[in-house]
Each structure stands twice: as C-alpha cells, then as structure tokens.
C-alpha cells in the first residue's frame, strides 16, 4: 500500500470504487476491516451510489481476503451487506462470515433461509448454518444454540416447494448432527431421482463420520456419474476407508477429471497407513504435473502424520522415490466393512 492510498479517507476510497472500473484497491479492503459505527454510517451514505457490479467485485475481494488473512475482520461490513438489494452481494457477504460463531449471526442466517426471495441466497444461508451445527456438536456453542440451526434446516427440508439446491445444502449442513432423523434423511436423498441430491447424500455420508455408510461410499466410487464419484472419493477419506485404497489409486491414475484426481489423492492422505503411503509414492514417481505433485506431497505428509511418522519428501529424484516404494498390488476382493 503506497502512502497516497494510505492517506485517503474511507469516503474517498468508496467514491473511487463507484466511479472507476479499476481493480479494487488493497487500501479499501483493509480499511473495511474492524469498522466502527461512524464508518458504517459513511458506507451507508455511499452504498447505493456504487454500481451493483462494483459492490459485487468488492465483496468477492473481501471473501477472498477473509479466507487467507485471519487478522482482518469484515463482520461489520458483511452484516450490513446481508441486506443488499443484489442477491450475489448477499451471498458473498454470507461467505465472509464463514468463521463467525456469534449466535446473532446464526439467527440472521436463519431469517435469510426462511425469508430471502433468492433461492441461491437461501442455499448459501443453509450452507453457512452447517458451521453452527458442527460447533454445537463439538461443544463450542451451547447445545440449545446448535439446535436452533438444526431446527431451521429441518424445517427447510420439509418445505416441499423449496428448491432442490436449498434442500441439498440443508441436508449437507445437518449431516454434522447426531439427531436421529439425519440417517433417514441421507438415505432418502441417496434414493432420490435427482443426481444432485444423490451427490449431496454421498457428501453427507462422509461428513457424518457414520460407518453405516461405508458400503454406499464404496459403491459410489464406481458410479458412472462424475459428481457422485467425486463425492464418494472425498467421503472415502473422511470415513478412513482403507478398503477403498485400490480404487482411489486407479481414480488418481486414470481419470481425465482433475477434480476427481485431486479428491482421490486427498483421500489417500486422509486414510493413511502403509498401503496409502505406498500408493501415493507410486503416484509421485510417475506424475509430472506440478500442481498434482504438490497435492500428492501434502497427502503423503498427512498419511505419515496419521501413522505417527513423518519425513520430508522432495520430488524430482525418481530413483530415490522408487527406492521408497514397496508397493504391493492391491486386489479388489471383498473384505469386512
């Protein structure tokens, strides 16, 4: 940030935002952190003069920054923007509050889930409520607060005319909960005729950490539908399915779908153990894509941590990697689930 930008007032920065098409200045981004009441008054007086697309660009930057810089706090500007007339801005505002465990923020999300005119915003609110369900399960929030989020999500699932996207996000958020209704809701989604709902069901199986879904996840790895294969690959890692290692290895080696490859590699790291480590080392020995190699290295580190051993691996020396691999071909014979 140069001295010229540092000296500009919030009002001047907002005026620039509305009057130019230039990229959003870092000076404005960081000025919008930790706002006080007077700052919000200034924003309110300028907000409607800023074109919709510029407000959206601003919130895209705020959301990106909040994911990478944990020292900034965009709570005040985000709460203000939850009432923006543009649904995309409201969605991005929800996204910047992903880390917030304040029950009052949760209740704002609940009201948006119940009343917002945009189904995309309602879906974003349903997704955000998952953080509160999880926090309630972990004891980071009072149990009664977590239950408020659960009840709102259950109510959304029971609205027949609600969109499938909202139903999907509500189910995925509820998957954190140990409520007795959740397994039946997941099973119902798994048997739904909509592929998106089926994919959300598989996603929810992994998120639930419930071993009853092991067989369903294994079956999903061989689905003809890429979306379901992707979710099954992630869920296999979340459930720690060592039975899936050989299938995940093939997915990482053979698929032309980069996202499925990345999911399979990530899951091998999550499963851990000697077989998974050897599978990842074999992948490293033959992979030339730098981005995938980075993912493989991260997965190997995770697998080693899970098994209680860790060593730094520097990719690039094929002979050295080959020496580390003692890879036994894994068969597909059934074993106990």
Contacts of 47 (CB under 8 A, 6+ apart): 55, 80, 84
In this structure, what are the phi and psi dihedrals at residue 2, rounded to the nearest 5 degrees?
Answer: -85, 165
Residue 133 corresponds to which tokens in the numbers above?
A: 């369900």
pLDDT surpassing 80 at residue 116: yes
pLDDT at residue 314, rounded to an integer: 43
Which of 65-74, 128-137, 246-255, 327-336 has the lowest average pLDDT? Answer: 327-336
DSSP character string of 131-186: HHHHHHHHTSS-HHHHHHHHHHHHHHHT-TTS-HHHHHHHHHHHTT---TTHHHHH
d(CA 202, CA 189): 9
Q: What is the mean pLDDT of residues 70-88?
A: 93
pLDDT at residue 121, rounded to an integer: 98
d(CA 330, CA 247): 9
End-to-end, the C-alpha distance of the chain in Å comes to: 56
d(CA 132, CA 137): 9
Which of 104-113, 161-170, 252-261, 325-334 has the lowest average pLDDT? Answer: 325-334
d(CA 174, CA 109): 15
**Residue the block writes with tokens 């909960």:** 177
pLDDT surpassing 70 at residue 335: no
Q: What is the mean pLDDT of residues 110-137?
A: 97
Q: Across all residues in the chain, what is the average pLDDT?
A: 88
pLDDT at residue 329, rounded to an integer: 41
d(CA 218, CA 216): 5
Which of 203-207, 226-230, 271-275 has the lowest average pLDDT? Answer: 271-275
d(CA 135, CA 101): 8
pLDDT surpassing 80 at residue 310: no
Which of 55-64, 261-270, 316-325 has the lowest average pLDDT? Answer: 316-325
pLDDT surpassing 80 at residue 1: no
Q: What is the mean pLDDT of residues 61-78?
A: 89
Q: Which stretches of the chain are DSSP H helices?
A: 3-6, 10-19, 26-31, 37-47, 52-68, 75-81, 87-96, 103-115, 119-138, 143-157, 164-174, 182-190, 195-208, 214-220, 226-238, 245-254, 258-271, 273-286, 290-307, 318-324
pLDDT surpassing 70 at residue 327: no
pLDDT band for position 324 (50/70/90)? very low
Question: Which one, of 193, 201, 133, lies nearest residue 167 by Cα?
Answer: 201
pLDDT surpassing 60 at residue 326: no
pLDDT band for position 308 (50/70/90)? low
pLDDT at residue 126, rounded to an integer: 98
pLDDT at residue 287, rounded to an integer: 67
pLDDT at residue 7, rounded to an integer: 56
Residue 204 corresponds to which tokens in the numbers above?
A: 């929810």
Reply yes or no on domain 222-337 having CATH 1.25.10.10. yes
Question: Which one, of 37, 91, 39, 83, lies nearest residue 63 by Cα?
Answer: 91
pLDDT at residue 104, rounded to an integer: 96
pLDDT at residue 286, rounded to an integer: 77
Q: Would you list the domain boundaries of the chain? A: 222-337
pTM, to two decimals: 0.85
pLDDT surpassing 90 at residue 305: no
Burial class of residue 97 (count of CB atoms within 10 Å of its CB; 0-12, 13-18, 19+): buried
d(CA 249, CA 226): 16
pLDDT at residue 257, rounded to an integer: 87
pLDDT surpassing 80 at residue 337: no
| 218 vs 335, higher pLDDT | 218
Percent of residues, the chain, with pLDDT higher than 90: 69
| 296 vs 67, higher pLDDT | 296
**Residue the block writes with tokens 């907002």:** 14
């Amino acid at each position: 940030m140069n001295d010229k930008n540092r000296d500009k007032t919030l009002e001047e920065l907002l005026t620039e935002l509305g009057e130019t098409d230039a990229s959003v200045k870092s000076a404005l981004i960081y000025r919008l952190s930790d706002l006080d009441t007077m700052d919000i008054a200034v924003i309110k007086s300028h907000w409607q003069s800023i074109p919709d697309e510029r407000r959206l660009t601003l919130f895209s930057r705020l959301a990106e920054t909040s994911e990478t810089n944990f020292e900034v706090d965009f709570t005040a500007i985000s709460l203000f923007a939850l009432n923006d007339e543009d649904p995309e801005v409201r969605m991005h505002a929800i996204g910047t509050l992903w880390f917030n465990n304040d029950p009052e923020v949760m209740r704002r999300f609940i009201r948006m889930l119940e009343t917002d005119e945009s189904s995309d915003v309602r879906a974003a609110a349903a997704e955000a409520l998952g953080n509160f369900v999880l926090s309630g399960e972990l004891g980071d929030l009072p149990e009664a607060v977590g239950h408020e989020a659960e009840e709102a999500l259950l109510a959304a699932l029971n609205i027949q005319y609600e969109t499938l996207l909202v139903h999907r996000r509500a189910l995925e958020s509820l998957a954190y909960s140990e409520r007795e209704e959740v397994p039946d809701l997941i099973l119902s989604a798994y048997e739904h005729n909509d592929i998106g709902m089926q994919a959300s069901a598989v996603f929810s199986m992994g998120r639930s950490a419930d071993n009853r879904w092991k067989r369903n996840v294994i079956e999903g790895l061989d689905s003809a539908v890429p979306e379901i294969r992707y979710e099954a690959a992630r869920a296999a890692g979340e459930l720690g399915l060592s039975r899936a290692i050989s299938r995940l290895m093939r997915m990482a080696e053979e698929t032309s779908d980069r996202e499925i490859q990345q999911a399979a590699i990530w899951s091998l790291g999550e499963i851990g153990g000697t077989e998974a480590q050897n599978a990842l080392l074999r992948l490293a020995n033959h992979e030339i894509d730098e981005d995938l190699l980075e993912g493989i290295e991260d997965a190997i580190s995770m697998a080693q941590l899970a098994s209680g051993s860790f060593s730094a691996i520097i990719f690039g020396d094929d002979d050295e990697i080959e020496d580390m691999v003692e890879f036994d071909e894994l068969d597909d014979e059934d074993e106990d689930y």
